[in-house]
Amino acid sequence: MLQAAITGARQASLIERPAPQAREHWAVVKITVAPMCTEYKAWLQGQPADHLGHEAVGEVVEVAQPGRVRVGDRVVVQPGYGCGRCRHCLAGDHIHCQRGSGPAQFYGQPLGTATYAQYLVKPDWLLSPIPDELSDELAGLALCGLGPSYGAFQRMRVTALDTVLITGLGPVGLGGVVNASFRGARVIGVDSNTFRRGLAERLGASLTLDPLDPELPAKIAAATAGEGVDAALDCAGALPAQRLLIDATRRRGQVTYVAEANHELPIRISPDLVRKGLTVNGSWHYNLNDYAGIGQVLQRSPTVAQMITHRFALREVQDAFATLAEQQTGKVLLLPWA
């Protein structure tokens, strides 16, 4: 089968690899859509990699034993490899499993882990069935498109009564705009990228702001009667955005971080937490029991399809990376069989 590899700085090409095979409860999925995520950063830096991607949708083409999927099933491939037995896996939070192991451990080699490829293998319980009404392309947004913000909004119980601040309007932040708008919440989006601010407005944001605008805090205050937003979500991962969440959220409000970052964020215990009564959450992906709810958003949101702005065949992966690096996109899809 074909899969993509990064071979140098701003260089990607296709390589041949043996297709993975089903074994025990691991099923083979023929990948029809591979949504692209942050892999272009490795392409920009020239970090060699031949197992790329963590988002995929496809069709089950081989099983080794009767189980939770059958040949012909259309499925969303959930990220990661939970053990299936620990408290987190049993609760639907396989993403937080500490004992999960992938094909490298189970098969003795890392074959079938990439999503920028034509086939993969996955434990059957991490293959979520796609409703007939939903296309493979839209179903692909049940991963890093709508997923992180859906998990965060469940955690913060975001409703139509809320004004939600979203920092960072890349694909994850844009998914947040769709999810918050679907819930009837009012959305304020922050990003320096004018293309993405415009797309956020088309997806339902009522106000978008530039983080470099010196009037930014005042404009958020003015939009919320001086109180601050009810809930805030960071999809930017940059320190000023992370700090803005704390400053722009009202007393007794909630903030959630979904963007990855390894630096420290200064928080003052009394003014920021104790006296403000603020709740601070970290959230990664979503609980598997929320998959059906995300399916409802995908089927009923009037704007969600506009999140997908570009499609490339797998053999065009070089052009796909170059396009992503320009940051004038919503979600970009790789199509391994186009």
Interface ranges with Zn ion (CB under 5 A)? 37, 55, 82-83, 86, 89, 97, 144
CB of 256 to Zn ion, least distance (A): 17
Which is nearer to Zn ion, 76 or 185 (by Cβ)?
Answer: 76
Distance CA 162, CA 327 (A): 29
Which residues fall within 8 angstroms of residue 282, CB to CB, at 6 or more apart? 256, 257, 258
Among all chains, which residue has been given the structure tokens 């104790």? Answer: 274
Min separation Cβ 143 and Zn ion, Å: 6
Dihedral angle sign, alpha carbons of residues 215, 217, 220, 226: negative
Could you count the other beta carbons within 10 Å of the beta carbon of residue 289?
11
Rank residues 40 and 153 by Cβ distance to Zn ion and give the closer one. Answer: 40
Least Å distance, CB 204 to Zn ion, is 22
* CA pseudo-torsion sign 268, 270, 276, 279: positive
Shortest CB 218 distance to Zn ion, Å = 34
Nearer to Zn ion, 29 or 144 (CB): 144
Minimum CB–partner distance for residue 147 and Zn ion (Å)? 8
- Write the CB contacts of 314 (distance below 8 Å, at least 6 apart in sequence): 2, 3, 4, 14, 34, 116, 117, 118, 334, 335, 336, 337, 338
Other C-beta atoms closer than 10 Å to the C-beta of 317 total 26
Q: How far is the CB of 90 from Zn ion (least distance, A)?
A: 8
| Distance of alpha carbon 20 from alpha carbon 22, whole angstroms | 7
Buried/exposed code over 29-61 (b: 16+ C-beta within 10 A; e: otherwise): bbbbbbbbbebbeebeeeeebebbbbbbbbbbe
CA distance 94 to 99: 10
**Cα–Cα distance measured from residue 40 to residue 238, given in angstroms and rounded to the nearest whole number:** 18
For the CB of residue 88, give the shortest distance to Zn ion in the complex, in Å. 5
Residue 280, phi-psi category: left (phi > 0), alpha (psi -120 to 50), beta (remainder): beta
- Choose between 86 and 238: whose C-beta lies nearer to Zn ion: 86
Q: Select 55 or 191, whichever has its Cβ closest to Zn ion.
A: 55
> Considering beta carbons, is residue 88 or 276 the nearer one to Zn ion?
88
User: Which residue from 152, 100, 91, 148 is spatially nearest to 289, judged by alpha carbons?
Assistant: 91
Distance of closest approach, residue 305 Cβ to Zn ion, in angstroms: 19
